[in-house]
Amino acid sequence: MTHLATIVSALVLFAFTYIQSQPASAQSAELLAVYKQIQSLSKQGKYAQAIPFAKTFIVLAKAEFGESHQYYALGLNNLAGLYRDQGRYLEAELLYKRSLEIREEALGPDHPSVATLLNNLLLLYNAQGRYGDAEPLLKRSLAIFEKDLGPEHPDVAVSLNNLAFLLTRPAKLILAGKPRS
């Protein structure tokens, strides 16, 4: 797993923990158990085995909370991440974008959970060499984190590091229309 992927995985876990701590949530024990199974299999690199659990999570979240709820968005995000890890980029992109739409509608465009999803989508674009698509997402997520956490927060420093990494990629020269030497 790359440095950037490790950071985003930690942010996703943080987002789920944050969602769990909200008093209005009444998730079922089954939903939580399925989520833990997805996390366990993912940590072991067993992405194909985790996919059925991710799909089950989506079904349970939809039945329990509906398609506009954060848990449903989390399920889409988790499945997208598994697809990304398997190189199933088109499927992953569609799920990431839908998850992002749900979170933006539910929480607003400047919520830290939105920034986390932007990071997930930019990881997908980075894996495909789509640095031009990744850069604005990273800049937007950085702005959200800076506003919410302050410019001195470690997560902001990580985002700045990721931006520097992205901007120094050799493919960036190709995207800018300059020949590679």
Q: Which amino acid, residue 7?
A: I
Asked whether residue 130 is assigned to any structural domain, the reply reads: yes
9-27 residue pLDDT tens: 445 544 544 444 343 345 6
Structurally, how many domains does the chain consist of?
A: 1
105-159 residue pLDDT tens: 999 999 989 998 998 999 899 889 898 898 899 899 999 989 988 888 887 887 7
Asked whether residue 181 is assigned to any structural domain, the reply reads: no
Does residue 112 contact residue 130 with C-beta atoms inside 8 Å?
Answer: no
Asked whether residue 128 is assigned to any structural domain, the reply reads: yes
> What is the value of pTM for the model shown?
0.77
C-alpha 16, offset from chain centre: 11
The domain of 124 spans 3-175
Asked whether residue 70 is assigned to any structural domain, the reply reads: yes
Asked whether residue 180 is assigned to any structural domain, the reply reads: no
Asked whether residue 116 is assigned to any structural domain, the reply reads: yes
61-120 residue pLDDT tens: 999 999 999 999 999 999 999 999 999 999 999 999 999 999 999 999 999 899 989 989
